[in-house]
Amino acid sequence: MKSIALGMAAAVACQWTVPASSFAPTLARPVNPAKSSALAAIRNRGLEISEEAAAPMPGGMILYVKAGPDGSSLGDCPFAHFVRIVLHEKGLDYEIRPSTEDTKPQWLIDYYDGSMPALRHRKECYVDSNVIAEYLDFFFQEPRMADKKRLSAEAAEATDGLFPAIAKYLKHTPDGDEKDDELKSSLIEALRRLEGHLAAGDRSGPFFVGNGEIFTLIDASLAPKLHHMQVGVNEFKGGAVDIDDDFPKLRAYMDLVFARKSFVDALYPEETVAWGWSNARKST
Ligand SMILES: N[C@@H](CCC(=O)N[C@@H](CS)C(=O)NCC(=O)O)C(=O)O
């Protein structure tokens, strides 16, 4: 979660311009007739090119994500869910391509180690959910999904270690042995940090950062991970973590973000979450 504070420098460093031959030709930036004579005057000086590069336009987005059990439905990735929540919050159109090892494009394997989620935006491609989210929030600012840097850093710190703790606990078998209890305790410790953060400070809104007024990238990232925890703990651990009684602030927060339209519109079935973790449990 620390990398959520990455600035655009990091996003730009990860970007790679795809050779024209790899993709269908992209459309030129639309020309405003009122400006066309001015554009003609500056043509061949490179200025129109830098204008396009400085401000990517909406449209032409394709999101490659892990596929579900049938190889073509949406898979169980909380990182892809995070990116989709951001796209939905901002009302950006995109095509979704659930992909497997066999169906992901060769350029994604060759140049990005096959990493998903991957957002191709016309001639560029970004990988890593935090980098993609920062890219989207930087260039498509409505609604802005970032709060002040210091507040975001504090909130990110409170979420540090959460997903590794969820993953280690859900993956562990046999359920209920001594190691399982240790992993459960680590998860409970991570949840206490979230509860403490939600209980602290001067809050006037329900969300995670600062005074809680803005639904930020941190909320968009956190919600899918908490959803995996909820489904996984019920499915594999007999509901061994009692969010309702032990973490009431977190319970209210989860109910709120799980009901948000962008979260629901980008959601996949609980069976898909269980399928993903049951595969992970077999391979460890
Ligand atoms: N740190 C990465 C993690 C992404 C990740 O773990 N993706 C997994 C699913 S949750 C995936 O797509 N696996 C399928 C594959 O790589 O083919 C991010 O934030 O984007």
CATH of the domain at 26: 3.40.30.10
Cβ neighbours, 10 Å, residue 184: 20
pLDDT > 70: percent of the chain = 81
Q: Do β-strands 61-66 and 118-121 pair in parallel, antiparallel, or remain unpaired?
A: antiparallel
The protein residue with its alpha carbon nearest to ligand 1, atom 13, reads 66
Measured between its terminal Cα atoms, the distance across the chain in Å is: 24
Tell me, yes or no, whether 262 and 187 share the same domain. yes
What pLDDT score was predicted for residue 55? 80
Tell me, yes or no, whether 156 and 276 share the same domain. yes
Q: Which atom of ligand 1 is nearest to the CA of 66?
A: 12
DSSP class of residue 45?
T
Q: Which atom of ligand 1 is nearest to the CA of 127?
A: 20
Residue 9 lies in a domain: yes
- The amino acid present at 276, given as its one-letter code, is G
Q: How many domains does the chain have?
A: 2
> Is it the case that residue 278 has pLDDT exceeding 90?
yes
Range of the domain at 238: 149-282
- The amino acid present at 223, given as its one-letter code, is A
Tell me, yes or no, whether 212 and 261 share the same domain. yes
The protein residue with its alpha carbon nearest to ligand 1, atom 10, reads 77
**From the CA of 193, how far away is ligand 1's center (Å)?**
25
Distance CA 145, CA 103 (A): 33
Within 6 Å (CB) of ligand 1, which residues are found? Answer: 66, 77, 79, 101, 114, 116-117, 128-130
Which token pair is 48? Answer: 């129109």
Tell me, yes or no, whether 10 and 130 share the same domain. yes
Residue 266 lies in a domain: yes
DSSP class of residue 18?
P
Tell me, yes or no, whether 200 and 222 share the same domain. yes
Tell me, yes or no, whether 40 and 113 share the same domain. yes
Which token pair is 126? Answer: 């970004």
In this prediction the pTM is 0.84
Tell me, yes or no, whether 155 and 78 share the same domain. no
**From the CA of 79, how far away is ligand 1's center (Å)?**
7
Beta strands in the chain (DSSP E): 16-17, 61-66, 95-99, 118-121, 124-127
**From the CA of 63, how far away is ligand 1's center (Å)?**
13
In the three-class reduction of DSSP (H, G, I as helix; E, B as strand; rest coil), residue 17 is classed as: strand
The protein residue with its alpha carbon nearest to ligand 1, atom 2, reads 128
Last residue of a domain, one of 84, 104, 139: 139
Tell me, yes or no, whether 106 and 173 share the same domain. no
- 180-232: per-residue pLDDT in tens? 999 999 999 999 999 999 999 899 999 999 999 999 999 999 999 999 999 99
Cβ neighbours, 10 Å, residue 222: 26
Do the beta carbons of residue 85 and residue 257 sit within 8 Å? no
Tell me, yes or no, whether 159 and 273 share the same domain. yes
Residue 54 lies in a domain: yes
Distance CA 206, CA 22 (A): 45
Residue 202 lies in a domain: yes
**From the CA of 20, how far away is ligand 1's center (Å)?**
26
- 106-132: per-residue pLDDT in tens? 999 999 999 999 999 999 999 999 999
Tell me, yes or no, whether 252 and 191 share the same domain. yes
Residue 144 lies in a domain: no
**From the CA of 15, how far away is ligand 1's center (Å)?**
17
Tell me, yes or no, whether 118 and 42 share the same domain. yes
Last residue of a domain, one of 107, 139, 171: 139
- The amino acid present at 167, given as its one-letter code, is A
Residue 44 lies in a domain: yes
Give the CATH number of the domain where residue 157 resides: 1.20.1050.10
Question: Is the previous residue joined to 143 through a cis bond, with omega within 30 degrees of 0?
Answer: yes
**From the CA of 100, how far away is ligand 1's center (Å)?**
11
**From the CA of 270, how far away is ligand 1's center (Å)?**
18
Last residue of a domain, one of 102, 120, 139: 139
> Is it the case that residue 97 has pLDDT exceeding 60?
yes
What pLDDT score was predicted for residue 222? 98
The protein residue with its alpha carbon nearest to ligand 1, atom 14, reads 66
Residue 224 lies in a domain: yes
Q: Which atom of ligand 1 is nearest to the CA of 115?
A: 16
- 53-75: per-residue pLDDT in tens? 568 999 999 999 999 999 999 99
Residue 90 lies in a domain: yes
Tell me, yes or no, whether 228 and 277 share the same domain. yes
Select from 81, 86, 113, 116 the residue to mutate for testing ligand 1; criterion: most ligand atoms less than 8 Å from CB. 116
Cβ neighbours, 10 Å, residue 103: 12
DSSP 90-136: TT---EEEEE-TTTS-HHHHHHHTT-SSEEEETTEEEESHHHHHHHH
